[in-house]
Structure 1
Amino acid sequence: MPENRKQPQSKFTADRNIPGAFEGETITRRRFMVATTHTAGAVATAAVLLPAIGFAAGSPIFERAPVIWTPVGKPTDFPDDDYVPRVITTTQGIGEVGKTTVYMRARNPDIDDVEGNPAPPSTDAPVIAISSRCMHLGCPVRWTSAAQRFICPCHGGVYGFLGQVSGGPPVRPLDHFYTRMRNGNVEVGPRYSVNSQFKRFPSYRDPGQPLDGIGQYLYPGRFSTPKNP
């Protein structure tokens, strides 16, 4: 008895009684348009993703930057009741753009070691190094000896003697820098951020990012931040 075999379906749309089909057509216009749309979408997606993937694969953004230490003088060069500006290198190989100004003073036990006072944490060197970058939008602040304040000329940010916010829009105290002693000289290293209680965070955050309360969890440190010295 012969087997009942199912006849293969014709590849022509007219043989399959598809409405609007014409003789010799092998694919419907609907399927053609869908395939064309999907192909165009795939091409557009690849045009965006492939360069981004290539950039990420060849970019050092996920690598830790090398730690740079800049000698800035002897401990006796810095008073304990005033700040002295120093220029240090934060990024090598890019000229003046990779430098920044820090304000430095000798550590003052009467101010910095008072219990309950939000003072900067201890460092290897007997000095305090404070960033000149405002924690509002990153404008450069200036130390004014007469007023005993750090003042930002851009938007009216004001900081006290310890770098704590005392007025204006900044969201946290000025950043600090690690310091150390080498061969009798003070050296300034990587930057780090502090919250309103001067709790040190292992890496620095960008201006405008608060580090109190939930803010410390919303703004993780950068991948490129140097490791703790």
Structure 2
Amino acid sequence: MTGAVHTTGAIAASAFLLPALGFAIGPIFEKHEQRWQPVGRPDEFPNDNYVPKVITISDGIGETGKSTVYIRKRNPALDTDKLPKGFEGEQFVAISSRCMHLGCPVRYTDAAQRFICPCHGGVYDFQGKVSGGPPVRPLDRFYNRVRNGQLEIGPRFSVNSQLRRFSPRDPGEPLDGIGQYLYPSRPSIRKLDKLPTE
């Protein structure tokens, strides 16, 4: 009788624990491929202001899968960050509208030349670096390239306060100091050296 009670308890506990474990571990192994998307001609984007464009982050879920990306041409006076090997020809800066505090949408305000998050008061400067509020790192960016006369936006990447590139991280995960080791990228996230060319 004791064995039957223990067996019944184990089955009942498994009914709760196994699905919870699956939901917790499952996203680690999901593959998130983002295709390259054309957003306009290169001459549409100035180097002293951002142009908002809507891209699809996740296919098959309608408007929920779309996001705004703010794009401008690289300005040699402002953009002094060293581009990684293989990306030296990148001519544009494409900034995500997802706040790095909790993921709320930020908006670029032209008059202030700042990205502002209305949810918790996060403020980012013209380059997307944190200038006030609770965000833990600069706004994420997107790889970009020019193909067949069109600017194309590719996968997202995260940056630290020196604008050094990292594999994408979730909001609230710092990348400065020990943060880059406390919040490693997930195994399913594409590494920078495995970025697709097509």
Give the superposition deviation at 1:154.
Answer: 1.1
SS at match of 2:95: strand
CA distance in 2, matches of 1:132, 1:120: 23
Q: Please give the alpha-carbon distance, in whole angstroms, between the structure 1 residues aligned to 2:123 and 2:56.
A: 25
Q: Which residue of 2 aligns with 1:28?
A: none
Post-superposition offset of 1:209: 0.9
State the distance in 1 between where 2:141 and 2:23 align: 32
Contact 1:67-1:226 within 8 A present in 2 as well: no
Distance 1:38 1:70 in 2: 56
Rounded to whole Å, the distance in 1 between the matches of 2:188 and 2:68 is: 20
* Larger Rg, first or second structure (1 or 2): 1
Aligned to 1:116: none
Q: Which amino acid aligns with 2:93?
A: I
SS at match of 1:41: helix
Distance 1:120 1:86 in 2: 25
Mapping of 1:18-167 within 5 angstroms? Answer: 32=1, 34-51=2-19, 62-113=29-80, 119=81, 121=83, 123=87, 124-167=89-132
Q: Which amino acid aligns with 1:174?
A: L
Q: Which residue of 2 is the match for residue 196 of structure 1? A: 161
Are 2:173 and 1:216 equivalent residues in the alignment? no
- Following the alignment from structure 1 to structure 2, what is the Cα–Cα distance between the partners of residues 74 and 205? 30
Q: CA deviation at 1:223?
A: 4.1
> Counterpart of 2:136 in 1: which secondary structure?
coil
SS at match of 1:181: strand
Look up the equivalent residue of 1:143 and give its one-letter code. Answer: Y
Identity of aligned residues (%): 65
Q: Provide the C-alpha distance between the structure 2 equivalents of 1:120 and 1:139, rounded to a whole number of angstroms.
A: 29
C-alpha offsets along residues 11-46 of structure 1, whole Å, 9 cap, x if unaligned?
A: xxxxxxxxxxxxxxxxxxxxx3x3243122221233
Deviation at 1:158, TM superposition (A): 0.7
Q: Give distance in 1, aligned partners of 2:106 and 2:19.
A: 38
Quick one: distance in 1 between partners of 2:59 and 2:46? 29
TM-score normalised over the length of structure 2: 0.86
Structure 1 segments unaligned to the other structure (5+ residues): 1-31, 114-118
> Secondary structure of 1:128's match?
strand
| Deviations 1:83-120 (CA, angstroms, capped at 9, x unpaired) | 0100111111111111100000001111113xxxxx37
CA distance in 2, matches of 1:61, 1:206: 13
Deviation at 1:125, TM superposition (A): 3.5
Per-residue deviation, 1:127: 0.7
Give, in whole Å, the separation in 2 of the partners of 1:104 and 1:159: 15
Question: Quick one: distance in 1 between partners of 2:83 and 2:184?
Answer: 21
The separation in 1 between residues aligned to 2:184 and 2:100, in whole angstroms, is: 16
- The verdict on how the C-alpha distance between 1:121 and 1:159 changes in structure 2, with shifts beyond 3 A counting, is farther
User: What is the identity, as a one-letter code, of the residue corresponding to 1:79?
Assistant: P
Tell me if 1:177 matches 2:142. yes
CA RMSD of aligned residues (A): 2.4
Could you tell me how far 1:61 is from its partner in structure 2? Answer: 5.4
Q: Identify, as 1 or 2, the structure richer in strand.
A: 2
Q: C-alpha separation between the residues in 1 aligned to 2:95 and 2:101? A: 15
TM-score, with length taken from structure 1 = 0.75
